[in-house]
A and B are shown apart, each in its own frame.
Chain A
Amino acid sequence: MVKEKKIPLVDYKLCMACRVCITACPFSCLEADKTDIDSYRKAYPALVRPETCTGCGICAKSCPIDVIIMVS
Chain B
Amino acid sequence: MRGYMGKILVVDLTAGTCEVEPVPDSVYEKVLSGVGLGAWYLTKNIPAGADPLGPLNILGFTSGLLTGTGSVMTGRWMVVCKSPLTGGWGDSNCGGNLSPAIKQCGVDAIFIRGQASEPVYLYVDNKGAEIRPAEKYWGLDAIEAEKALIHDNWNKKKPAAAVIGPAGEKLSLISGISNDLGRYAARSGVGAVMGSKKLKGIALAGTKLVKAHDVDGLKALSKEYANKIRKANAPGILKGALMPVLGKVMGSMKSVSPIDGMMTSMLLKKWGSIMNNTMSVKNGDAPFKNWGGSDKDYGRKYYKSLNPDKFIAREEQKYHCYSCIVGCGGICKIGDLKDGRYPHTHKPEYETAMCFGGLLMNRDTDSIFYINEVCNRAGLDTISVGGTVAFAIECYENGILTETDTGGLKLSWGKASEIVALVEKIAARELGIGDLLADGVKKAAEKIGRGSEKFAIHAGGQELPMHDPKIDPMLGTTYSTDPTPGRHTTSGGLYYTTSSLWEKVSWLPPFRKYSKSEEYEPTEVETMKNVAYTAFKMIVDGTGGCYYAMLMGVRHFKIFEFLNCATGWNKSPDEYIEIGRRMQTLRQQFNAKQKVDMASFKMHDRAIGIPPLEKGHNKGLSLKIDEHIRLYRKCWGWDEETGYPLESTLEEMGINGLLNEGVLNG
- Chain A residues packing against B (C-beta within 8 Å): 14, 16-20, 23-24, 26-28, 32, 35, 40-43, 52, 58, 62, 64-66
Name the contact of B97 in the complex, choosing from A14, A23, A26 (C-beta under 8 A): A23
B344 to chain A, nearest CB (A): 13
Q: Which of B307-325 contact A (CB under 8 A)?
A: 315-325
User: Do A28 and B320 contact each other (CB < 8 Å), given the known contacts A17-B327, A41-B315, A66-B223?
Assistant: no
Tally of chain B residues near chain A (CB < 8 A): 36
Question: Does B23 touch A at the CB level, under 8 Å?
Answer: no
B545 to chain A, nearest CB (A): 14
Question: Does B269 touch A at the CB level, under 8 Å?
Answer: yes
Q: Which of B150-193 contact A (CB under 8 A)?
A: 154, 156-158, 160
Q: Are A20 and B223 in contact (CB under 8 A)?
A: no
Q: Are A19 and B226 in contact (CB under 8 A)?
A: no
Alpha-carbon distance between A28 and B156 when the two chains are bound, in angstroms: 7
Q: What residue in chain A is nearest B156 (Cβ atoms)?
A: A27
* B226 neighbours in A (Cβ, 8 Å): 14, 16, 64-65
A13 to chain B, nearest CB (A): 10
* B223 neighbours in A (Cβ, 8 Å): 64-66
Question: Does B229 touch A at the CB level, under 8 Å?
Answer: yes
Q: Are A64 and B156 in contact (CB under 8 A)?
A: no
Question: Does B218 touch A at the CB level, under 8 Å?
Answer: yes
Q: Are A64 and B71 in contact (CB under 8 A)?
A: yes
Q: Are B218 and A40 in contact (CB under 8 A)?
A: no
Alpha-carbon distance between A65 and B320 when the two chains are bound, in angstroms: 16
List 13 additional A-B contacts (Cβ < 8 Å) besides A28-B156, A64-B71.
A16-B72, A16-B229, A17-B325, A17-B327, A19-B97, A19-B320, A19-B323, A28-B157, A28-B158, A41-B315, A41-B318, A43-B319, A65-B219
Q: Are B318 and A43 in contact (CB under 8 A)?
A: yes
User: Do A26 and B322 contact each other (CB < 8 Å), given the known contacts A41-B315, A64-B71?
Assistant: no
Q: Are A18 and B323 in contact (CB under 8 A)?
A: yes
A69 to chain B, nearest CB (A): 14
Alpha-carbon distance between A72 and B101 when the two chains are bound, in angstroms: 29
User: Do A41 and B316 contact each other (CB < 8 Å), given the known contacts A16-B230, A18-B72?
Assistant: yes
Q: Are B71 and A41 in contact (CB under 8 A)?
A: no
Q: Are B317 and A41 in contact (CB under 8 A)?
A: yes
Q: Are A26 and B219 in contact (CB under 8 A)?
A: no
Q: Are A43 and B72 in contact (CB under 8 A)?
A: no
Alpha-carbon distance between A35 and B327 when the two chains are bound, in angstroms: 13
Q: Are A20 and B318 in contact (CB under 8 A)?
A: no
* A42 neighbours in B (Cβ, 8 Å): 317-318, 320, 327
Question: Does B483 touch A at the CB level, under 8 Å?
Answer: no
* A35 neighbours in B (Cβ, 8 Å): 317
A22 to chain B, nearest CB (A): 8
In the complex, 14 of the A-B residue pairs with CB atoms within 8 angstroms, ordered by the A residue number, are A14-B226, A16-B230, A19-B97, A20-B75, A23-B104, A41-B317, A42-B317, A43-B317, A52-B156, A62-B68, A64-B222, A64-B226, A65-B222, A65-B226
B178 to chain A, nearest CB (A): 18
B647 to chain A, nearest CB (A): 43
Q: Which of B280-339 contact A (CB under 8 A)?
A: 315-325, 327
* B104 neighbours in A (Cβ, 8 Å): 23
User: Do A65 and B72 contact each other (CB < 8 Å), given the known contacts A18-B323, A20-B322, A26-B207?
Assistant: yes
Question: Does B70 touch A at the CB level, under 8 Å?
Answer: yes
Alpha-carbon distance between A4 and B318 when the two chains are bound, in angstroms: 36
Question: Does B100 touch A at the CB level, under 8 Å?
Answer: yes
B567 to chain A, nearest CB (A): 17
Per-residue contact bits, chain B 393-431, to A (CB 8 Å; 1 contact, 0 not): 000000000000000000000000000000000000000
Q: What residue in chain B is nearest A39 (Cβ atoms)?
A: B233
* B230 neighbours in A (Cβ, 8 Å): 14, 16
* A52 neighbours in B (Cβ, 8 Å): 156
Q: Are B207 and A20 in contact (CB under 8 A)?
A: no
User: Do A17 and B320 contact each other (CB < 8 Å), given the known contacts A23-B100, A42-B327?
Assistant: yes
Q: Are A26 and B157 in contact (CB under 8 A)?
A: yes
Q: What residue in chain A is nearest B74 (Cβ atoms)?
A: A64
B229 to chain A, nearest CB (A): 7
Alpha-carbon distance between A2 and B317 when the two chains are bound, in angstroms: 42
Alpha-carbon distance between A16 and B72 when the two chains are bound, in angstroms: 10
Q: What residue in chain A is nearest B327 (Cβ atoms)?
A: A42
B272 to chain A, nearest CB (A): 11
B243 to chain A, nearest CB (A): 18
Alpha-carbon distance between A52 and B158 when the two chains are bound, in angstroms: 13
Alpha-carbon distance between A58 and B100 when the two chains are bound, in angstroms: 14
Per-residue contact bits, chain B 212-241, to A (CB 8 Å; 1 contact, 0 not): 000000110011001001100000000000
